[in-house]
């Protein structure tokens, strides 16, 4: 067989041996008296790969801070950190108030684990929301928290 005939066959064989880039979905939901939390995205199964197309929305009771901080949509650029393995799923979102108003920010932290009796990909744990706002008059900052239980599925 000629070398020019072998090269395409060799290339196709080697390309098929490369690992596939697999992905799955991420969904986290909480809805209790304190807050409603929804997180959706795509989970790549590769070391160091970021979440894809991730977004989150919260509607929380955060007295003392503006409604723009208590009702917040997080986009991919607000996802600061995440951790996913067979035992735990943790995600951190952070967003600052846009515009010329006084400084304010909202942080959403989700920390979950998978128990021995849980189905693969199911994680249960807690969410923690922090609303932080500096009053327009420059007084002392207001920090308010909302906490509750959340369930996530990654698979």
The mean predicted confidence, pLDDT, of the chain is 87
Whether 77 contacts 125, CB under 8 Å: no
* pLDDT for the residue numbered 5: 56
Residue 19 pLDDT grade (very low, low, confident, very high; cuts 50, 70, 90) = very low
Give ∠ CA 110-115-120 in degrees, rounded to 5: 90
Q: At 9, phi and psi to the nearest 5?
A: -65, -40
The pLDDT, as a whole number, for residue 119 is 84
Does 66 or 45 have the greater pLDDT score?
A: 66
Rounded to an integer, what distance in angstroms lies between the CA atom of residue 12 and that of residue 121? Answer: 34
Give dist(CA 12, CA 108) in Å, integer.
46
Residue 4's pLDDT is what? 55
The pLDDT, as a whole number, for residue 13 is 47
Higher pLDDT, 153 or 3: 153
Tell me the percentage of the chain whose pLDDT exceeds 70: 85
Asked whether the beta carbons of 51 and 36 are under 8 A apart, the reply is: no
Task: Give the per-residue pLDDT at 2.
Answer: 56
More confident of the two residues 7 and 49: 49
- The long-range contacts involving 82-89, CB below 8 angstroms and separated by at least 24 positions, are 82/50, 82/51, 84/43, 84/154, 86/114, 87/113, 87/114, 88/112, 88/113, 88/114, 88/123, 89/113, 89/114, 89/123, 89/125, 89/152, 89/154
Per-domain boundaries in the chain:
22-154
Residue 85 has pLDDT above 50, yes or no: yes
| pLDDT in the model for residue 121 | 86
pLDDT tens per residue across span 106-143: 999 999 999 888 888 899 999 999 999 999 888 899 99
């Amino acid at each position: 067989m000629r070398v020019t005939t072998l090269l395409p066959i060799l290339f196709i064989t080697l390309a098929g041996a490369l690992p596939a880039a697999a992905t799955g979905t991420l969904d986290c939901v909480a809805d209790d008296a304190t807050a409603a939390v929804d997180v959706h995205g795509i989970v790549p199964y590769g070391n160091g790969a970021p979440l894809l197309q991730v977004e989150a929305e919260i509607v929380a009771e955060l007295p003392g801070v503006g409604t723009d901080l208590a009702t917040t949509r997080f986009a991919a650029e607000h996802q600061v950190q995440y951790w996913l393995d067979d035992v735990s799923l943790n995600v951190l979102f952070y967003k600052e108030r846009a515009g010329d108003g006084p400084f304010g920010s909202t942080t959403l932290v989700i920390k979950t684990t998978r128990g021995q009796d849980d189905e693969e990909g199911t994680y249960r744990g807690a969410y923690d929301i922090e609303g932080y706002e500096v009053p327009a008059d420059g007084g002392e900052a207001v920090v308010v928290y909302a906490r509750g239980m959340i369930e996530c599925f990654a698979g």
